[in-house]
Amino acid sequence: MGDHAPILQAESVSLRFGGIRALTDVSFAVNRGEVFSIIGPNGAGKTSIVNCVSGRYRPTEGRIRFDGQDITRMRPSRRAALGLGRTFQNLALFGHMSVLDNIMVGRHHLLRSGFLSGMVYWIGGAQREELAHRREVEEIIDFLEIQHIRKAQAGTLSYGLRKRVELARAVALRPKLILLDEPMAGMNLEEKEDMARTILDLNEEWGMTILMIEHDMGVVMDISHRVMVLDFGRKLTEGRPEEVMAHPEVRRAYLGEVEDAPAEAVPA
């Protein structure tokens, strides 16, 4: 696979739960090195498509390819091994453990879950591997500017800092593509600005491709290279932020615009 091939391709993905269609024939591709955002109203299917990519759901129809491999039916741990990382909407940190230990555990857990034999870690070269882990984790802590809380218990941190630590844990394996499920949810303006800057840094400085679901339209339009809009489980449109915002149906849905309103407002 050349570097010009998309890193992620969803081909005609449909997802049904019983009689309910969560996704209908959704196709899109994410290019290497881009920030690709998925937007749409609640219930549009955003989380469903990300769950299909991460392996939490299996599409009823269609295929998903990642870095040249068909991952449609692959276990989540195998996807992690290929370089697919993700954060979750609900914070899954160990509250009683330090920030440092949370990130270390994230690495160990991922490294042992199905693709690097745990035996290698526990029997041979454990100390050497521990030092390599520690160096990697310290670099991430520096990069995400959380040195001041590295020894703090995760459960005592503010919401914005906990989200940052969770991102650090997802980044700890240096994934090729990271899935961010509403990384700004519940944050104040300052926290959102910090998170947006961090996402851009991950993309620009660490070369990570990012697939993001986010409600905050300002952030999406500021930091995304391309945006896809879902509505009722179908793809409405996709393109550069300015193209998407110019789309009449997107304007109606998000900006509450009514077609022909200006013309009607002009006196006869």
Both tokens assigned to 45: 């299917």
Contact call for residues 164 and 154 (beta carbons, < 8 A)? no
Rounded Cα gap, residues 128 and 138, in angstroms? 15
Contact call for residues 137 and 172 (beta carbons, < 8 A)? yes
213: number of Cβ within 10 Å: 22
Specify the pTM: 0.84
Pairing of strands 177-181, 84-86: parallel
> Please, where are the H alpha helices in the chain?
46-54, 76-82, 99-112, 118-122, 126-143, 159-171, 189-204, 217-223, 241-246, 248-255, 261-265
- The edge-to-edge listing of strands for the beta sheet with 35-39 is 84-86, 177-181, 209-213, 35-39, 226-231, 234-239
DSSP 247: -
pLDDT at 123: 52
Phi, psi of 11 (to 5 degrees): -115, 110
- Residue 113's Cβ-side half-sphere holds a number of Cα atoms within 13 Å equal to 15
Q: Using the structure block, give the residue that is written with the tokens 């100390």.
A: 127
Region of residue 88 (left: phi > 0; alpha: psi -120 to 50; beta: else): beta
Residues in a beta bridge with 14:
61
What per-residue string of b and e applies to 4-23 under the rule 16 or more CB within 10 Å gives b? eebbbbbbebbbeeeeebbb
Mapped onto helix, strand or coil, the DSSP state of residue 2 is: coil
DSSP 29: E
CATH number of 1-83+176-268: 3.40.50.300
pLDDT at 52: 96
pLDDT at 263: 43
Rounded Cα gap, residues 142 and 19, in angstroms? 48
DSSP 155: G
Phi, psi of 85 (to 5 degrees): -110, 160
pLDDT at 88: 57
H helix count then E strand count, the chain: 11, 10
Local confidence pLDDT in tens for the 268 residues of the chain: 446 889 999 999 999 999 899 999 999 999 999 999 999 988 899 999 999 999 999 999 999 999 999 999 999 888 888 899 887 544 567 778 899 888 887 676 555 544 444 445 555 556 666 777 788 888 999 988 899 999 999 889 988 888 888 888 888 878 899 999 888 888 899 989 989 999 999 999 999 999 999 888 889 999 999 999 999 999 999 999 999 999 998 888 776 665 544 444 444 4
Q: Single out the residue of 212, 261, 207 nearest to residue 241, CA to CA.
A: 212
Contact call for residues 211 and 30 (beta carbons, < 8 A)? yes
Boundaries of every domain in the chain: 1-83+176-268, 95-174
